[in-house]
Amino acid sequence: MAMGDNNDSMVPGLEGEENLIAAAKHLVRALGSKKNLTDDEKKVLADLGKQLSTIATVNETAVNENKGEGINEIELQLNAVQEKITSWEVDESIIWDGGSTEGHEYLNAVDEARNLTERLDRLCEDKGDDENELLRRAHNVIQMAMARLEEEFRHILVEHRQPLEPEHLSFRSSEEDAADVGSINSFGDDSFEEPIHRDGVSRTSEEYIVDLVNPDVISDLSCIANSMFQSNYHHECSQVYISVRKDAFEEYLFILEMEKLSIEHLLKMEWRALNSKIKRWIRAMKIFVRLYLSREKWLSEQIFGDLGSLSSVCFVEASKASILQLLNFGEAVSIGPHKPEKLFPFLDMYELLLSLIPDIDALYSGEAGSCVRNEYDDVIKRLGDSVRAAFLEFENAIASSTSTNPFAGGGIHHLTRYVMNYIKTLTDYSETLNLLLDDCDRETFSPEMSPAKEEGKTSGGTSPNISPMALHFRSVASILECNLEEKAKLYKDPSLVHIFLMNNIYYMTQKVKDSELRHLFGDDWIRKHNWKFQQHEMNYERATWSSILALLKDEGNSSSGSISKTHLKERFRRFYLSFEEVYKTQTAWLIPDLQLREDLRISTSLKVIQAYRTFLGRHINHVSDKHIKYSADDLQNYLLDLFEGSPKSLHNSYRR
């Protein structure tokens, strides 16, 4: 049989011949057991058995000789490799600091040691003491090399971590540290502020690409990882990677100013401070997922991409603690009281997490990432529940808002401004709110909302396909109107009741007409509320001027000649006193809208001045000038002072 240069290549051939010899012997024994064989046949079988035994003995000797020669050769090679690897151990400097060339020389030595170990495992199935000792030496060399590679791997990861560039990662703004103009203390007082508009987040940071580790060393890291993986030291390699990158992620969170906070601490935090942290969290979450995590995923794939699922496992384990820390913040925020001012932050957080679902699913795919995906989905659900709860709390808070004193001047109540600006801003979240409010239990509406429910059914533009958000917004408007009517009862002057309701209903109507709310409320709602504030305008004129203008009417068919001068003087005197009282009182009242104020002044002037001119023209010859305090033009000018919110007086303002 021809033999190759490689000694152990002969062994499989010998083993094959042994199998054939054994089969032939078995056949000889089987034939020899037959009783009808002739003596010559028995002799032939006996000679054949002897020859087979001789061949088997020769082959066994050859196998043993080849095995001995192979082990001797391996021992010589192992001595050389061990000397190489040990020489690097004597030099305590980092191998890869000398460059990739020296590093790859070391990896080649490790490959040799591993190949020799594998050959020893194959050759020494029935190991004697010598073979076992040689195999132990080979494993020790591998173990020593793996320890060194582990150290080198850690060193490269740490030393070549890229410094982060602050100009691309800074997201702090003066707005975050400023007072949050959208917050309110409670609905139980008369102090409301307009909600802050939706906070846009720049995409600059998420589009910026960073290298978390110097790209020049990624190939070296990959080669080390492959060598350790082939030597069955993948666990040690992955643990080094996970440990180092965990530390890196902690640094990233520190740069993003996302410190660890307990749920208890967050629940006790003052709202403005918490709101600032929520804004910071929103920015940090986008940067973390779309910048850091995406690049970390890329890095792990570059290093472990050829090693099966190891890449995914390393990425998940390295980043899991940090992403869960961010998600825990979202969960903690959702647990706290669902005050109305929290609705906007809840919506911003919810929409952000919703928008990042494709990123999270791609980053944490497979079984390894299921724990993160499940936690992520749970936080989204919790925030969705918080949005619903905060919106319902908003509705209930409007209904239960009480005032102990009438609103000064009858102007637009802070609650009206707050509520209408609140729902106007919410139109930016139409898609999300329609999704979440559609699941809202309509039976949880407060009793005060029943008028709104009826209004939602009858108001124009309300088809059976009315959106959940439109229904809820109309409910809010109806609740607000009911509340304003209760607040109006605090006024003692019936005229001021109508001014107050006219102002507030007009404000509500204009907010709807001039914004996206128009599509939700419909034109019929606008027409209905136009009619409402116009009714209050007419009712104001009746309540204020009807009794005063009655003084300027002639009774029955009486002419000026039949009215005594004394009676005329008394009527002029009473008219002037009443007008002065109206002037003194209603200059302190306020109609903030310029157009509405002018319209009411003109309407009032037409009625009052026309009646005064007629009465004065009819009776001016029957009373002396000293009893005529004001001309028609004077009164007309004085009427222009009404509803400015600055009290004035006409006392002692006699004509000379």
Q: What is the pLDDT of residues 427-459, one digit of tens each?
A: 999 999 999 998 664 434 443 444 444 454 444
DSSP structure class, residue 213? B
DSSP structure class, residue 91? S
- The mean per-residue pLDDT over the stretch 2-7 comes to 41
Report pLDDT for 11: 42
Report pLDDT for 307: 82
Q: Which two tokens stand for residue 181?
A: 């103009």
Note the CATH architecture for domain 57-163+212-231.
Up-down Bundle (1.20)
Q: Where in the chain are all domains bearing CATH 1.20.1280.170?
A: 414-439+467-554+563-641
> What is the CATH code for 414-439+467-554+563-641?
1.20.1280.170
Q: Closest by alpha carbon to 48, among 64, 68, 28?
A: 28
Report pLDDT for 53: 58
What is the spatial distance between Cα 640 and Cα 587, in angstroms, rounded to a whole number? 9
Sequence-separated contacts (24+) of 24-31 with Cβ below 8 Å:
24/48, 24/52, 25/49, 25/52, 25/53, 25/56, 28/52
Report pLDDT for 315: 95
Report pLDDT for 119: 81
Report pLDDT for 54: 58
With a threshold of 0.85, does the pTM exceed it?
no
More confident residue, 561 or 304: 304
Q: What is the pLDDT of residues 591-625, one digit of tens each?
A: 999 999 999 999 999 999 999 999 998 888 888 87
pLDDT grade, residue 174 (50/70/90)? very low
Q: What is the pLDDT of residues 358-401, one digit of tens each?
A: 999 999 998 989 999 999 999 999 999 999 999 999 999 999 99
Report pLDDT for 373: 96
- The mean per-residue pLDDT over the stretch 203-210 comes to 58
- Buried b / exposed e over 617-653, threshold 16 CB at 10 Å, is eebeeebeeeebbbebeebbebbeebbbeeeeebeee
Q: Where in the chain are all domains bearing CATH 1.20.58?
A: 57-163+212-231
Task: Please list, in sequence order, all residues whose beta carbon lies within 8 angstroms of the beta carbon of residue 69, skipping any fewer than 6 positions away.
Answer: 7
Report pLDDT for 145: 86
Q: Closest by alpha carbon to 228, among 300, 166, 146?
A: 146
| pLDDT over 50 (residue 178) | no
Report pLDDT for 40: 62
What is the spatial distance between Cα 635 and Cα 627, in angstroms, rounded to a whole number? 15
